[in-house]
Amino acid sequence: MIWTLVPLLWIFATSLKSPSVFSAPATSTEFGLFWPKHIYWGNYSVIFTGGAKDLFLPALWHSIIVCVLATVISVVLATFCAYAIARLNFPGKKVILTTALALSFFPAIAMVTPLFNLWRQVHLYDTIPGLVIPYITLTLPLSIWILAAFFQQIPWEMEQAAQVDGASSWQAFRKVVAPLAAPGVFTTAIIAFFTAWNDFVFSSNLTSSNSQTVPAALAYFTGASQFQQPTGAICAAAVVVTIPVVILVLVFQRRIVAGLTSGAVKG
Amino acid sequence: MSTVSDAAGSAAPAAKRRPVLSDRTKAERKLGWYLAGPAFIIMLAVTLYPILYAIWLSFFNYRLTDPAARKFVFLQNYVYALSDPLFWQTVETTFFIVVVTLIFELVIGMGIALVMHRIVLPRRTLRTIVLIPYSIITVVSAFAWLYAATPNLGFIDPWLHTLTFGLTDPTYNWFGGRWSSLFVICASEIWKTTPFMSLLLLAGLAQVDSSMEEAAKVDGATWWQRFYKVILPNMKGALMVAVLFRTLDAVRIYDNPQVMTGGANDTTTLSMLVGSTTVDRVEIGMGSALAVILFIIVLIIAAIFVRLFKVDLTSTGRS
C-alpha cells in the first residue's frame, strides 16, 4: 500500500511547493522534506491562468477530444465486430481475432515512421484526425477481444425465448440483449479511453503544437521562461490529468478488473 | 476450434454439414462480414499498409530533408544498423529493462495475487489501491519518479540516508550514470505495471481447483510443494499470457526513459532509437529499417513464448 501511494503523494506534495523551495538546496535530511512547509497553490494558477495556460489548456482539450472520438468510434466498430464474432457463423472469424491479437503486439513506434511520412504527404500531420486514426487502431484490437469475451457470456437463449413469445427481432434485441450488453460495452469504452489517454508514442511523434495531447505536452514542457524551473507546474498539471482517471478507476474498479482479466486471460 | 465459434456454431449446425449452402447460412455469412468487416478493414488499413510501407522504405537511403537523394540501397540500412555499436547498446539496455522488470514483476505480482486470493475481507480496498498505478499516465509516473530521485529535490536520497543511518550519500545523483539511471527506470516501470501482472495472475489463481490443493495438503505436501506442483501448473495459461504481455510491452518501452533521461548516459531503448532516427534526424529509411528490426524481435519473442507454453492464443487460453 505504501509502495503504491508514496509516489502519488509525492507528486501532489511537489505540486504544492513554491518555486523558492526548488531553488534553495535542501538543508534538511528529515522526512519533512517530503511535504511542503507552506502550501502554495501558485502552480495551479500557472497552468490554468498563468504563463503555461496556452500550453496546458489546449493540450487538455486535444486530449479530451481525441480520446473521446477515438473511444466512441472504436467501441462502436468493435461492438458490431464482436457481436458478429460471438453470434454469427461466418468464415474468417478466426482470422479477425488473430489479426487483432497480432496488431496489439505490434510496436506502436514501428508504425510512427510510415505514418509520419504519410501524414505529411496527406496533410494530416499535427491535426486532430491525424491522431484519432492511430488511436482507433490502438484501441480497436483490445476492444474487440474484451467485447467478444463479454458477448459470449450473454445467454442468447433469452433472446430466442423473447422472439418465441412474439417479440420482433429488434424488440428482442432492445429489451433483452442491449441491457445485458451495455455494461460490457461501457467497461470496454473506459479501458479504451485509458489506453488512448495514456498514449505518448503517437502524440509525441505525430504532433508538434496544433494537436498535442497532455502526455506529450507535459514531456516537452520547459517552463514559462528559461530562468524558471517548471517542476511545480508540471506536477500540478500531472495531478490535474490524473484525478479524473483515478476517480473513474475508483468508481468502476470491479468492472475494469473483470474487463481486463476476461479480455486478457481469454486472449 | 475456439469457443467463439462453438458459441455461434449452434446457430446453424445442420446447414454447416450440407455441401450446398442454404440461403439462411449465406445470409448469416453476409451479415457477419457486414458487421465485422469495417473494424477489420480499418485495422488492416491503418496498420498493415504502414507495415508494408515501412518495409519498403527500409530499403531506401532516404532523408526527409534531402528527398532528391532518395536511393534504393536494398539491405544496406540493415547492415549499417546491425554493425553499429549504438544499436547493440540500445538492444542491451532494452533487454536489461525487460529481464529485470519481468523478474521483479512476476515475484511481486504473484505475491500480491496470492494475498488477494487468500484474503477475502479487504479485497476491494486492496484491489483499488493496486489498480491505481495502472491508471496513472506513464508520463506522469515517470515525472514522479524523476523528481523523487533528483538530488536536492526528491525524497529518495534523504530517506535512504536516514534509513541506512547515514551510510548513503544524501545527494547521490541517480541520473549521473547508466546503471543507476536504469535502476530508477526499472523501479518506476515495476511500480507502474505490477498491478496488471497481479490482476492477470489473480484471474489465473481463480481457475485453480481448490480441491486439488486440499488433497495435496492432506497428503502432507509443504506450502512450497503445493505452490510449485499444484498451483503453478494449473494456472499455466494465465501465467503465460501475463509473461507474454509484459515482455512484449517492456520490449516496446518508450515513454518512461524518454521522460526521465531522454536517452542520456546510454539509456536509449530500441523504441527511442526508432523515434529519434525518424523524427529528430528525419532519416526515414534508416528509421524504417530499425522499426522493422524491432517488429521482427517482437514477432520472434511472441513465437518463442507460444511454442514454449504450447498455448493456442485464439482458444480460451486455459490450456
Predicted confidence (pLDDT) at residue B42 exceeds the cutoff of 70: yes
Q: Which of B42, B64, B144 has the CB atom closest to A7's CB atom?
A: B144
Cell of B182: 536504469
CA B9 vs CA A89, B1, B14, B17: distances in Å: 6, 10, 10, 11
**CB proximity B251 to A under 8 Å:** yes
At residue B146, the pLDDT reads: 76
B139/A218 touch (CB, cutoff 8 Å), yes or no: yes
At residue B18, the pLDDT reads: 46
Cell of A1: 500500500
Looking at domain B84-309, its CATH class is mainly alpha
Size of interface A-B (CB pairs under 8 A): 310
Tell which residue, A35, A51, A34, A54, has the closest CA to residue A43.
A51
Per-residue pLDDT tens over the stretch B259-292: 777 666 667 777 777 777 776 777 777 878 888 8
A89/B204 touch (CB, cutoff 8 Å), yes or no: no
Cell of B129: 489501491
Predicted confidence (pLDDT) at residue B187 exceeds the cutoff of 80: yes
At residue A230, the pLDDT reads: 66
d(Cα A82, Cα A87) in Å, to the nearest integer? 8
Q: Which of B4, B64, B131 has the CB atom closest to A85's CB atom?
A: B4
**CB proximity B169 to A under 8 Å:** no
The nearest alpha carbon in chain A to B127 belongs to A253
**What residues of B are in contact with residue A145 (Cβ under 8 Å)?**
none
At residue B19, the pLDDT reads: 52
Expressed in angstroms, the distance from the first to the final Cα of chain A is: 30
**Whether the predicted model's global pTM rises above the 0.90 cut:** no
3-class secondary structure, A107: coil
d(Cα B213, Cα B43) in Å, to the nearest integer? 44
Query: B193 vs B6, which has greater pLDDT?
Result: B193
d(Cα A152, Cα A255) in Å, to the nearest integer? 16
Q: What is the arithmetic mean of pLDDT over B185-213? A: 79
At residue A53, the pLDDT reads: 63
Lowest-pLDDT choice from A65-79, B100-114, B137-151: B137-151
B222 to chain A nearest CA, in Å?
29
At residue B201, the pLDDT reads: 82
Q: What is the arithmetic mean of pLDDT over B219-237? A: 78
A202 to chain B nearest CA, in Å?
10
* Confidence band of B106 (pLDDT split at 50, 70, 90): confident
Q: Which of A34, A114, A249 has the CB atom closest to B50's CB atom?
A: A114
At residue B299, the pLDDT reads: 83
Per-residue pLDDT tens over the stretch A52-101: 666 677 778 888 888 888 888 888 888 888 888 777 777 777 777 777 77
Domain extents in chain B: 29-72, 84-309
Per-residue DSSP letters for B143-176? HHHHHHHSTTT-SHHHHHHHHTTT-S-TT--GGG
The nearest alpha carbon in chain A to B272 belongs to A109
Rounded mean pLDDT for each run of 10 residues along chain A, 267 residues in total: 64 63 47 56 64 70 84 86 78 78 75 78 78 83 81 75 76 76 82 81 74 71 51 73 78 73 56
B4/A267 touch (CB, cutoff 8 Å), yes or no: no
Cell of A240: 490535474
Complex prediction ipTM: 0.72
* Confidence band of B306 (pLDDT split at 50, 70, 90): confident
The nearest alpha carbon in chain A to B262 belongs to A219
What are B61's strand-pairing partners?
B71
Q: Which of B34, B43, B251 has the CB atom closest to A100's CB atom?
A: B43
Query: A36 vs B293, which has greater pLDDT?
Result: B293
Could you give the residue ranges of the DSSP H alpha helices within B223-262?
A: 223-225, 232-234, 236-251, 255-260
Q: What is the arithmetic mean of pLDDT over B205-232? A: 78
DSSP state of B22: P
Contacts of B33 (CB under 8 A, 6+ apart): A84, A90, A92
Residues A255/A260/A263/A264 CA torsion (nearest 10 deg): -160
Name the average pLDDT for chain B: 73
Other Cβ atoms less than 10 A from the Cβ of A227: the count is 6
At residue B168, the pLDDT reads: 65
A51 to chain B nearest CA, in Å?
20
Per-residue DSSP letters for A174-218? IIIIHHHHHHHHHHHHHHHHHHHHH--HHHHHH-SSSS--HHHHH
B39/A201 touch (CB, cutoff 8 Å), yes or no: no
Pairing of the two strands B66-72 and B60-63: antiparallel
**What residues of A are in contact with residue B124 (Cβ under 8 Å)?**
253-254
At residue B302, the pLDDT reads: 80
Tell which residue, A189, A164, A214, A240, has the closest CA to residue A79.
A189
Stretch 80-119 of chain B: residues touching chain A, C-beta under 8 Å: none
3-class secondary structure, B63: strand
B275/A201 touch (CB, cutoff 8 Å), yes or no: yes
A94/B39 touch (CB, cutoff 8 Å), yes or no: no
